[in-house]
Amino acid sequence: MTENTTYKGYKGLTLSVLKSFNAPVWSEVELVTTKGKYKGLILPRSETADEFHVVLKLPIGYNIGIAAENITEIKVFGNKEAHYKIPEKEFPVDPSKPSVKLLGTGGTIASRLDYRTGAVIPAFSPGELYGSVPELADYCNLDTEKLYGVFSENMGPEQWIGTAKAIGEEIEKGVHGIVIGHGTDVMHHTAAVLSFMVQNSPVPIVMVGSQRSSDRPSSDAALNLIHAVKTAAESDIAEVMVCMFGPTSDMYGLLHRGTRVRKMHSSYRSTFRTIGEIPLAMVDREKITPLKYDYKKRRNDKYVEINPVFEEKVSIVYYYPNMKPDIIDSLVDNGYKGIVIAGTGLGHVNKPVYPALQRAYDKGVAVYMTVQTLWGYVQMYVYETGRVMLDLGVIPLANMLPEVAYVKLGWVLGQTDDLEKVKNIMLTPIAGEITEREPSNGYLIYQGGIPEVEEFISKYRK
């Protein structure tokens, strides 16, 4: 082995420390440091990472970085090079089972660790999936197609349009359900935009991701995939949904309507919550339990309306105190056709912004108001300031979530420039993005100190 491969990625101080104890990568070691002892496996270091830390994989599966300057001794016990090739097996075909198509776009769910760079990289094939999650064959005949291999922050109009078209083609071919593997960060944007671009689907369209990559013991990838595939194969909810962990434990998944769902926690597996509504259903390996009944039902035909358009000159502005009018002015000057504001409280911005709103209106820019509280409705008749903004042409969007409003406005402006028509479509609920009322049990009350919540946490949290 050359030095390059033996000490992959390590340089400077860490390289000399590892060498002085004859501890190349893949050594099983006990690291003695001034702060304590750690047992684990020395992993290759990312080529772009700093030169001050050794990366150790702990027996529980987590990787930690240890400052080389604190290392006083390294005891080497053995060597265990990891080969992260996922075993490929041909997916079994059972003509009595429904057919499900999994369209991959990327994200952690389609990832494994690349120990050359230390990065999480996408890896996606049907055989790999079956090799790692054989239970999928219990529910359906699965076919897969990798549409994209991106982390979801890189999803945008081009990929949304491509995904909508691919869904249309699969429905025409007669699949019984569609699963879309997607990064979690932007999954709610894509779920919303697909709810508009793909209408009257005869089959479930289930988006799924994972918060923890499949090389980690706490990964939610396999179970989320099982739940999503079961939903696509068996559920009679023919809507765009997000399927992810319900509670923090692996008790069940929740099916969220594509226009009412949002990622709400940067690391919990139970990160997706339905906002201002309740989820559509619970799903586990055995059953799908509806929580709501007013959903679009599965049909036997192959008819679907695909309307894959998006105007890119649309923006979302999150209002903050002391925002200056130039924020709005610069969008107008740069040719933006639509602006969604996430306003404070019932839907407010400060007075200095009003002239910029007037100017936007005069230039034919569509300006819509949503609330950054997420729960609740825009109400611009309550305060004088709200009424002034209505006079400036700002249109309130009831309880449409800001991100949903952003993608809906992009989709509507992709179809027409006629602002009256735009307003009409924006205010007409298409896929549950505006609802008449928020159910009393639709508000998130996950707060510390409340006895029943404490009980829930101690019982189920892992």
Quote the least distance from Cβ 290 to ligand ASP, whole Å: 27
Check residue 220 for interaction with ligand ASP (CB under 6 A). Answer: no
Residue given tokens 């291999």 in the structure block: 149
Nearer to ligand ASP, 141 or 211 (CB): 211
Nearer to ligand ASP, 215 or 236 (CB): 215
Compute, in degrees rounded to 10, the torsion defined by CA atoms 100, 227, 160, 212.
-130
Cβ(41)–Cβ(80) under 8 Å?
Answer: yes
Nearer to ligand ASP, 74 or 225 (CB): 225
Quote the least distance from Cβ 450 to ligand ASP, whole Å: 29
Quote the least distance from Cβ 209 to ligand ASP, whole Å: 5
Closest CA to 191 of 176, 181, 200: 181
Quote the least distance from Cβ 232 to ligand ASP, whole Å: 19
Binding letters toward ligand ASP, positions 128-167, x by CB under 6 A: -----------------------xx---------------
Q: Which helix (H) or strand (E) holds 27?
A: strand 27-33
Quote the least distance from Cβ 163 to ligand ASP, whole Å: 14
Cβ(402)–Cβ(315) under 8 Å?
Answer: no
Cα distances from 39 to residues 14, 115, 216, in angstroms, run 17, 19, 17
Nearer to ligand ASP, 119 or 382 (CB): 119
Quote the least distance from Cβ 353 to ligand ASP, whole Å: 32
Check residue 277 for interaction with ligand ASP (CB under 6 A). Answer: no
Burial of 409 (0-12, 13-18, 19+ CB in 10 A): buried
Nearer to ligand ASP, 25 or 110 (CB): 110
Nearer to ligand ASP, 183 or 414 (CB): 183
Question: Count of residues binding ligand ASP (CB under 6 A)?
Answer: 10
When binding is defined by CB under 6 A, the residue of 44, 118, 181, 209 that contacts ligand ASP is 209
> Which position's Cβ is nearest ligand ASP?
183
Residue type, 38: Y
Binding letters toward ligand ASP, positions 171-200, x by CB under 6 A: ------------xxxx--------------
User: Which residues are part of the catalytic machinery?
Assistant: 108, 184-185, 263
For ligand ASP, the binding residues in 59-118 under the rule CB under 6 A are 107-108
Closest CA to 243 of 253, 252, 234: 253
Cβ(117)–Cβ(148) under 8 Å?
Answer: no
Binding letters toward ligand ASP, positions 400-419, x by CB under 6 A: --------------------
When binding is defined by CB under 6 A, the residue of 141, 211, 219, 235 that contacts ligand ASP is 211
Q: Is 348 left (phi over 0), alpha (psi -120 to 50) or beta?
A: beta
Q: Give CA 158 to chain center in angstroms.
A: 17
Write the DSSP assignment of 125-136 as a string of letters: -HHHHHHH-GGG
Closest CA to 208 of 277, 158, 157, 142: 142
Q: Tell me, what DSSP letter sits at residue 353?
A: G
Q: Tell me, what DSSP letter sits at residue 98?
A: P
Q: Which residues bind ligand ASP (CB under 6 A)?
A: 107-108, 151-152, 183-186, 209, 211
